Amino acid sequence: MAITIAVDCMGGDHGPSVTVPAVVDFLRRNPDCATLLVGREEDLRPHLRSMPGNALAEFGERLRIRHASETVEMHEPVASALRNKKDSSMRVAADLVKEGVADAAVSAGNTGALMAISRFVLKTLPGIDRPAIAGILPTVKGHTYVLDLGANVDCQPEHLLQFGIMGAMLVSALEHRDYSNSGPSVGLLNIGEEDIKGNEIVKRAAELLKESGLNFHGNIEGDDIYRGVTDVVVCDGFVGNAVLKASEGLAQMIAGALKEEFSRNIFTKMTALAALPVIKAFRRRFDHRSYNGAGLLGLRGIVFKSHGSADAYAFRCALERAAEAARKRLPEKIAARLAQSIPVAA
């Protein structure tokens, strides 16, 4: 049976000009998948017609349009999106997952609105107090999964435990590695590795994680993230969002500085030309687009958030991650692990 992805085609900075080409590329690479393009039909059809070949004829039932008359704007208040736009492309995509018509939803739209709508429509899994946003950061060993990236600014120890469990299940689902012996390693982001470091919430969270049965590495520091010390990094949304934005800013600064230095004079330009294969390999390895697609974990359905400024390649990467989570039935795996009697925050 095909995995069906409901795609909010109107969300993000670029809307259908990015989402439609991404969907076409995704379908060509994933013959076991189908998509529902959600948005204003009068906007979607011209973009489909502009694609090389006849996409609707090529994919048949694997590419269908679901009309939605409204769009959630990128800076629209969450309450307005939730209460007043019941026929938005974002809301309809979530509804399709709830109804079982789609196995997952992907949107590049307003993050706060997507979380609120997804939580309202799909509800949370038993044992989950707060859903979390889990994304990927590159490391010297490959990449690591970090959560929460901004959904929960203030957390209790039990929330951080839940994040650890959900993160471990996400890695098991998306990574093609054998975790049968010990499971993905989980680290708790702290200001030091020692047990005495951190505030009381982090200290208590460390105790809960030790008792959880997870492959808990212990406390890790900020530099450990990029050394790839653990498969999963757990933190509250305030810290996680700061880490994410700082990482993006640092990557942009390094790229800009390299370009500036290599452009200084004829000698540096010649050096750049000689180093071109290395530069290209470096860019591929740390291309943020390859890591696009953050899962909204803890819901009774699969929802992935793409970066709002994503291009077609980046958005396709988000579709790939959502499809893999659906293939592995991620919510069911999280629910089964949560059923092992973890504490719930008051």
pLDDT tens digit sequence for 151-166: 999 999 999 999 999 9
Helices (H), 65-219: 78-84, 89-98, 111-122, 157-174, 200-211
Residues 145 and 277 in one domain: yes
Tell me the mean pLDDT in the region 298-304.
97
Query: Are residues 106 and 231 both part of a single domain?
Result: no
pLDDT tens across 68-112, in order?
999 999 999 999 999 999 999 999 999 999 999 999 999 999 999
Answer whether residue 228 is part of any domain.
yes
Who contacts 93 (Cβ-Cβ below 8 Å, separation ≥6)? 6, 7, 8, 36, 38, 102, 105, 106, 107
The reply to whether 64 and 84 lie within a common domain is yes
Instruction: Tell me, yes or no, whether 117 lies in a domain.
Output: yes
Residue scoring higher pLDDT (181 or 1): 181
CATH number at residue 97: 3.40.718.10
- Asked if 157 and 270 sit in the same domain, the reply is yes
Domain total in the chain: 2
Q: Residue for token digits 């530069």?
A: 279
Domain identity same for 54 and 163: no
> CB under 8 Å to 241, separation ≥6 — which residues?
149, 150
- Residues β-bridged to residue 5: 35, 104
Question: pLDDT for 113-154, tens place per residue?
Answer: 999 999 999 999 998 989 999 999 999 999 999 999 999 999
In a domain, 106, yes or no: yes
Look at residue 114 and tell me if it is in a domain.
yes
Q: Is the pLDDT of residue 174 over 70?
A: yes
What's the order of all strands across the beta sheet hosting 33-39? 63-67, 33-39, 3-8, 104-107, 302-305, 294-297, 132-139, 142-147, 232-234, 185-189, 215-220
Which structural domain, as residue segments, surrounds residue 9?
Answer: 1-124+300-309
Q: Which uninterrupted H or E stretch holds 61?
A: none
pLDDT of 232 above 70: yes
The alpha-carbon radius of gyration of the chain (Å, integer) is: 21
**pTM metric for this prediction:** 0.90
Shared domain for 117 and 133, answered yes or no, is no
Look at residue 268 and tell me if it is in a domain: yes
Looking at the fold, whether 221 and 290 belong to one and the same domain comes out as yes
My answer on whether 105 and 172 are in the same domain is no
Q: Is residue 340 part of a domain?
A: no
The answer as to whether 323 is a domain residue is no
Residues 139 and 249 in one domain: yes
**Is residue 317 assigned to a domain?**
no
Q: What confidence tier does 342 reach under pLDDT thresholds 50, 70, 90?
A: low
Relative orientation angle of helices 157-174 and 200-211, to the nearest 10 degrees: 50
- Domain match, 72 and 115 both: yes
Residues 92 and 160 in one domain: no
The verdict on 89 and 205 lying in the same domain is no
Q: What is the tens place of the pLDDT at every residue in 5-46?
A: 999 999 999 999 999 999 999 999 999 999 999 999 999 999
Rounded-to-integer distance, Cα 79 and Cα 84, Å: 8
